[in-house]
């Protein structure tokens, strides 16, 4: 989190151009908004964005880290359209502050949402510059301020302060300065609030925000208040919540459920809708992961379809589809989940005596835990859920129920379009530039993005050969193979063991990913690591295609600490080869364990390049994307 270092990474175009980069950078120049965002993006970004963005000088860089405000601006716009009170509020906020700058946008927006942009340290020098004029604004005292606003604004400013590239200050200085700036922000916000019916809305919003913060934030609360220094904390009791240290802490992903912890597992079981029987003969190394008897719960759940009251049928259906394996693949699962949530939100009505924001969040949480029972969430789904919960939490209280619902549904649609469908298109556009005539491309398993890339390259008339490598037990490669051959691509099919025999003819390896972790580790279908390793040994470039919404700030070094266990019976029986039945009578033997790992972690040294919607980046730049992304979308 050293701001200086990352800032340099962003601004130095030379670093980016090592290895692969797109030969057509002009379309990504500053003044021209990235084309892929066009459908969502306002046609002409405001000049402030350009100003903010220019110091990072990525006009040459193939990596497009879009200006942080495009989206917030965009959000603002939608907010303007949908919600009248916010409109007044934010608009006024904008008019108050003279230079429409980075933090102004953030602060103007703060009542409606948690200030997450502040959480991720900014790498843009623009932020630094903006802080100077802001400090000149301090005149009015903050006595009458609504507490919610002051806290929030304070939080934002403190954070910005921290993020300055020159952060060689003691904590004490920081807090005092932060306090000063908190006042300014608060004052500014107060003016705005006075114009709108701000008091009510903002206080409610702050309440919402606190309610949305789950356990880990609570844990962080006490310590953060301690660190924060008494001066600040005195004026903002609740405001300890907003403090930067707390935000920092929340940055770290909270620990996952460990299934070897007996008491917690028992607790979780009591709440569970799906009653799964635990598998016997579990592998010692993987006791911390859940493993259930496969297929035992499905019929049971199907009968319960009409009995389960709290569960929305659409969610229920998706859960069953996850369970049976009808929906698989990160994007497909994510889209299906969001569609189901959309249905659920559509049919949702706030019970009397409850607020929509709280109740809906709780409702979504219960859906999510049901889905987890069906199949552990993928990391991309986790990110998507975070987004949705965040959107719910940020709903202005003044919205009527129907308005809130339609806002959320719009948000969901936008997420699907923007983060998944458009991302894929952009990735395809980038990746196709890496395919030349006469190439032999190897892919492993079935990745939807890689398939799109191959098909698109074929449509462009490029002549290349595809090697589809597959492995047991899912044999997803066969499905991909079939689709590719149907489209007229010439393909070679083989299994993962033979990959080192075929690798010497291969010129590029294209791999999909379930997630990219912030140490550059690619978390993907089991076997991906093998393929990448062999490609590395044969000096074949490995290109990983992954949408940015699948990036995650977790780190992982091996495939054991976190993984998913599939159905062990799939191991003992070989599909289509009935003669291999050596293990038929032995499945219940105590000595025999069957391990069906679903994912593995590919070390970043095997990955030459990651193709994402922000461009083509080396694996070392993943944390930058993670950070920018969170900032960008007011994530978490």
Partner 1 sequence: MPDTQALVNDFLNKLKKRKIEGSQATAKQTAELLRSVISQTRMPYTNQAAALIHSVKAVGERLIAANPVELAVGNVVRRVLHIVREEDLSLTTAAMAGLNLSAESDDEDDTDRDNHPALSAAAIAAASRSTLRPPSLQTLLEDVPDSAAVPHTSSSGGDSEGKSKSADKSSRSRKLKHDVIEAVNELIQDISTCHELIAEQAVEHIHQNEVILTLGSSRTVLEFLCAAKEKKRSFRVFVAEGAPRYQGHLLAKELVTRGLQTTLITDSAVFAMISRVNMVIVGAHAVMANGGVIAPVGLNMVALAAQKHAVPFVVLAGSHKLCPLYPHHPEVLLNELRSPSELLDFGEFSDCLDFGSGIGAPLLHVVNPTFDYVPPKLVSLFITDTGGHNPSYMYRLIADYYSADDLVLERRTTSGN
Residues that bind partner 1 (CB under 8 A): 283-285, 470-473, 478, 481-482, 485-486, 488-502, 504, 525-527, 529-530, 533-534, 537, 558-560, 563, 571-572, 574, 576-577, 580, 582-583, 586, 589, 591-597, 600-601, 603
CB of 172 to partner 1, least distance (A): 45
CB of 577 to partner 1, least distance (A): 7
Q: Of the two residues 435 and 496, which places its CB atom closer to partner 1 in the complex?
A: 496
Q: Of the two residues 222 and 581, which places its CB atom closer to partner 1 in the complex?
A: 581
CB of 387 to partner 1, least distance (A): 30
Q: Of the two residues 433 and 593, which places its CB atom closer to partner 1 in the complex?
A: 593
CB of 470 to partner 1, least distance (A): 8
Distance CA 425, CA 447 (A): 14
Q: Of the two residues 260 and 413, which places its CB atom closer to partner 1 in the complex?
A: 260
Cα Rg of the chain, angstroms:
26
CB of 592 to partner 1, least distance (A): 5
Q: Which residue has the tokens 């030969």?
A: 23
Instruction: Please give the structure tokens belonging to residue 154.
Output: 């304070």
**Element housing 102 (H / E):** helix 102-109
Distance CA 191, CA 588 (A): 72
Q: Which residues make Cβ contacts (< 8 Å) with residue 164, sequence separation at least 6? A: 3, 127, 128, 131
Instruction: Reduce the DSSP state of residue 597 to 3 states and report it.
Output: strand
Instruction: Please give the structure tokens belonging to residue 567.
Output: 């159905």
Neighbouring-strand partners of residue 600: 524
Q: Of the two residues 213 and 593, which places its CB atom closer to partner 1 in the complex?
A: 593
Q: Of the two residues 199 and 514, which places its CB atom closer to partner 1 in the complex?
A: 514
Q: Which DSSP string corresponds to 354-367?
A: S-HHHHHHHHHHHH
CB of 453 to partner 1, least distance (A): 18
Q: Of the two residues 227 and 507, which places its CB atom closer to partner 1 in the complex?
A: 507
Instruction: Please give the structure tokens belonging to residue 393.
Output: 């939490």
Neighbouring-strand partners of residue 508: 441
Q: What are the start-end ranges of the H helices in 307-355?
A: 313-324, 330-346
Nearest CA-CA partner of 331 in 410, 386, 384, 256: 384
Is cis: bond before 135, omega within 30 of 0? no
Nearest CA-CA partner of 498 in 528, 516, 471, 526: 471
Distance CA 325, CA 360 (A): 28
CB of 585 to partner 1, least distance (A): 9
CB of 466 to partner 1, least distance (A): 10
Largest CA distance in the chain: 85
Distance CA 135, CA 124 (A): 18
Q: Of the two residues 141 and 575, which places its CB atom closer to partner 1 in the complex?
A: 575
CB of 507 to partner 1, least distance (A): 16
Q: Are strands 522-525 and 599-602 parallel, antiparallel or unpaired?
A: antiparallel
CB of 83 to partner 1, least distance (A): 48
Q: Of the two residues 471 and 621, which places its CB atom closer to partner 1 in the complex?
A: 471
Q: Of the two residues 272 and 586, which places its CB atom closer to partner 1 in the complex?
A: 586
Q: Which DSSP string corresponds to 271-295?
A: H-SS--PBPSS--GGGTTS--B-TT
Instruction: Reduce the DSSP state of residue 494 to 3 states and report it.
Output: strand
Q: Which residue has the tokens 């990983």?
A: 544
CB of 496 to partner 1, least distance (A): 5
Q: Of the two residues 476 and 547, which places its CB atom closer to partner 1 in the complex?
A: 476
The answer to whether residues 286 and 563 touch, using CB atoms and an 8 Å cutoff, is yes
């Amino acid at each position: 989190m050293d701001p200086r270092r990352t800032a340099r990474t962003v601004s130095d175009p030379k670093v980016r151009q090592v290895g692969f980069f797109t030969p057509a950078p002009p379309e990504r120049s500053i003044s021209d908004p990235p084309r892929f965002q066009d459908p969502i993006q306002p046609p002409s970004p405001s000049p402030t964005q350009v100003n903010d963005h220019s110091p990072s000088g990525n006009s040459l860089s193939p990596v497009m880290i879009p200006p942080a405000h495009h989206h917030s601006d965009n959000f603002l716009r939608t907010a303007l359209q949908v919600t009248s009170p916010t409109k007044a509020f934010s608009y006024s906020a904008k008019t108050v502050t003279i230079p429409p700058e980075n933090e102004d946008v953030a602060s103007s927006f703060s009542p409606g949402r948690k200030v997450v942009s502040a959480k991720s340290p900014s790498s843009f020098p623009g932020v630094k510059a903006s802080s100077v004029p802001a400090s000149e604004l301090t005149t009015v005292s903050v006595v009458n301020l609504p507490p919610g606003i002051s806290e929030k604004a304070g939080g934002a400013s403190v954070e910005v302060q921290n993020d300055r590239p020159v952060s060689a200050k003691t904590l004490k200085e920081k807090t005092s300065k932060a306090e000063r700036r908190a006042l300014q922000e608060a004052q500014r916000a107060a003016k705005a609030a006075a114009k709108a019916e701000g008091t009510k809305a903002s206080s409610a919003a702050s309440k919402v925000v606190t309610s949305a913060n789950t356990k880990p934030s609570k844990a962080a609360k006490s310590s953060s208040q301690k660190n924060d220094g008494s001066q600040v904390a005195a004026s903002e009791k609740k405001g300890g919540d907003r403090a930067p240290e707390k935000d920092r802490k929340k940055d770290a992903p909270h620990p996952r459920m460990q299934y070897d912890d007996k008491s917690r597992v028992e607790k979780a079981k009591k709440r569970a809708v799906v009653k799964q029987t635990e598998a016997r003969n579990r592998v010692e190394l993987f006791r911390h992961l859940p493993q259930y008897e496969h297929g035992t719960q499905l019929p049971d759940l199907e009968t319960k379809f009409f009995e389960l009251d709290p569960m929305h049928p659409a969610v229920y259906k998706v859960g069953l589809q996850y369970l049976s394996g009808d929906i698989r693949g990160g994007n497909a699962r994510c889209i299906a989940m969001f569609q189901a949530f959309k249905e659920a939100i559509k049919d949702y009505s706030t019970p009397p005596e409850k607020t929509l924001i709280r109740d809906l969040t709780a409702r979504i949480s219960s859906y999510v835990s049901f889905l987890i029972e069906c199949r552990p969430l993928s990391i991309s789904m986790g990110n998507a859920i975070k987004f949705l919960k965040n959107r719910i939490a940020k709903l202005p209280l003044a919205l009527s129920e129907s308005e809130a619902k339609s806002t959320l549904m719009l948000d969901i649609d936008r997420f699907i379009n923007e983060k998944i469908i458009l991302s894929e298109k952009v990735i395809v556009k980038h990746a196709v530039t890496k395919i030349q005539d006469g190439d032999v491309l190897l892919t492993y398993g079935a990745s939807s993005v890689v398939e799109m890339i191959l098909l698109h390259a074929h449509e462009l008339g490029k002549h290349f050969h595809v090697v589809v490598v597959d492995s047991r037990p899912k044999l997803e490669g066969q499905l991909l193979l079939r689709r590719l051959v149907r489209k007229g691509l010439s393909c070679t099919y083989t299994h993962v063991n033979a990959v080192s025999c075929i690798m010497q003819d291969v010129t590029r390896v294209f791999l999909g990913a379930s997630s990219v972790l912030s140490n550059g580790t690619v978390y993907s279908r089991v076997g991906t690591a093998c393929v990448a390793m062999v490609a590395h040994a044969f000096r074949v470039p490995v290109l990983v295609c992954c949408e940015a919404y699948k990036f995650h700030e977790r780190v992982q070094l091996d495939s054991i600490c976190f993984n998913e266990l599939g159905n062990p019976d799939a191991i003992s029986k070989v599909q289509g080869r009935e003669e291999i039945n050596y293990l038929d009578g032995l499945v219940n033997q105590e000595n025999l364990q069957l391990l069906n790992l679903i994912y593995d972690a590919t070390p970043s040294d095997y990955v030459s390049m990651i193709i994402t919607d922000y461009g083509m980046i080396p694996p070392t730049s993943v944390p930058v994307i993670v950070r920018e992304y969170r900032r960008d979308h007011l994530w978490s």
